[in-house]
A and B are shown apart, each in its own frame.
Chain A
Amino acid sequence: MAETNKTDIPNSNDNSGISRRDIIKGLATVPVVGAFFYGWYKKRKLENLLRDSIREEITLDNDNPVFHRKVSTKKQIRLGIIGTGGRGRALLKACGFLRPEIIDAYVEAAKENETDKRYAEFLEQEDLNIVINGVCDVFDVHAEFGMKACANTDRLPSDQQMSPFPKRYKNYKELIAADDIDAVIIATPDHWHGTMTIAAARAGKHVYCEKPMTWAVDETYEVVKAVKENNVVFQLGHQNRQTESYFKAKEAIEKNVL
């Protein structure tokens, strides 16, 4: 290189402290840090502006949906459940009823793995102020499981005080006709859903029915008719629709964002 002698080297200077040249060369790249943070500021500002303006443009607010959780403390709702197989028992759990044996397993699992919070979370589930007075299942094993869960009103492990077992029915018609039942949960095999809902509505019972509502379009209209004529509350088990994303999607549709 022809020019190698042009740049100076610190220790080739005389050692009389820091010269002006030292300061200029030592601090030469400091303005880059300033440029960096100026660029950083501009970019962040633009990103924030874009985010806010998109939100403004589509008029979606940034709030979380509000769930109106009003559990009546006055009148206890008396339920009956038809079908206590896998899905039926999952619904019972959602209602706050688990067999003691399941709770035993949760407790054991929590002892071995401290991140296993199933029992703690189950205990935190809100008290819905309900009682289950009737269990209907043609299969004895499932009926037994269901009754045990319903009797465990205090959410306790085995060998603790249980409430009396609910009455067991072998025919859903008897459960629907019972006087001590206000509403029914239907978690039977799919082809029964429509028939049982219509029968329950005609008996004046409110219905929570697992999906699918029916297997045939015609039957669907029959169900709607029975529910309306008998003025009962009906809910289909599309529980995903109560998740936050669905509420946001509903808001987006209502506000014509799409």
Chain B
Amino acid sequence: MKNNLQYSKWQLIWLVVLRVAIGWHFLYEGMVKLVNPNWSSVGYLLDSSGFFKEMYYSMASNPELLRLADFLNIWGLIAIGLGLILGLFTRIASWSGIVLLGFYYLSHPSFIGVSYSMPMEGSYLIVNKVMIEMVAVIVLLLFPTGRQIGLDRFIFKQKNN
């Protein structure tokens, strides 16, 4: 994949803005869960529906797996958020973000005839905001900016040269 695409000034600015905004969202979601001692993914997992709900249920019913899911959720969100904002290991952060968002979408897909006890904040048919955020991170992965605006500029400088 081309890592050093040449962008116009405005293309670069808005790609970076998109990256930072998504990173901000990830970071805040992670921090909120981190400071809430009562937070657990169990409610969300048990509210799952769609094709993969059995998998999410089994995650919720296994205490060790649940602890792991909680830990990866909190620190994954924080790490991905910081990675996207700072442009630090942007590629890994993007990939991880896509996987995490994919998990979220498959847990609560906005399919026809599927309803949830946890209310969603909008009206959706198949496409919801989780999916749009995931698609946006895929775009960020394919149009990388971390090595231009971001700490990856330092990290990957030598290698590139």
Which of A19-27, A78-86, A95-103, A150-158 binds B?
A19-27
The reply to whether B161 and A15 form a contact with Cβ atoms under 8 Å apart is: yes
Q: Does B42 contact A (CB under 8 A)?
A: no
Chain B residues with a Cβ closer than 8 Å to the other chain, count: 31
Chain A residue numbers with a CB within 8 Å of B16 are 28-29
Pick the contact of B149: A5, A6, A28 (CB < 8 A). Answer: A28
B1-46 with Cβ < 8 A to chain A: 4, 6-12, 16, 20, 23-24, 27-28, 31, 35
Number of chain A residues close to chain B: CB under 8 A = 25
Task: Assess whether A216 is interfacial by the CB under 8 Å rule.
Answer: no
* A32 x B153 contact (CB < 8 A): no
- The B interface is mostly helix, strand or loop, or mixed, namely helix
Decide if B50 is an interface residue (CB 8 Å cutoff). Answer: no
B151 x A33 contact (CB < 8 A): no
The stretch from B79-87, B93-101, B135-143 touching chain A is: B79-87
Choose among A6, A26, A30, A40 the residue that contacts B31 (Cβ–Cβ < 8 A).
A40
Chain A contact surface mostly = loop
A29 with B148, Cβ < 8 A, contacts A4-B6, A7-B9, A22-B154 known: no
Chain B hits for A36, CB < 8 A: 24, 27-28, 85
Partner of B6, one of A7, A27, A28, A33: A7
User: Could you tell me if B151 and A1 are in contact, using CB atoms closer than 8 angstroms?
Assistant: no
Is A3 part of the binding interface, using a Cβ–Cβ cutoff of 8 Å?
A: yes
Residues of A within 8 A of B86 (CB): 29-30, 33
CB distance from A147 to the nearest CB of B (A): 42
Q: Is the CB of B8 within 8 A of A10?
A: no
A32 touches B4 (CB 8 A): no
| Known contacts A1-B11, A15-B161, A22-B157: A32-B151 contact under CB 8 Å | no
Q: Is A18 located at the chain interface by the 8 A CB criterion?
A: yes
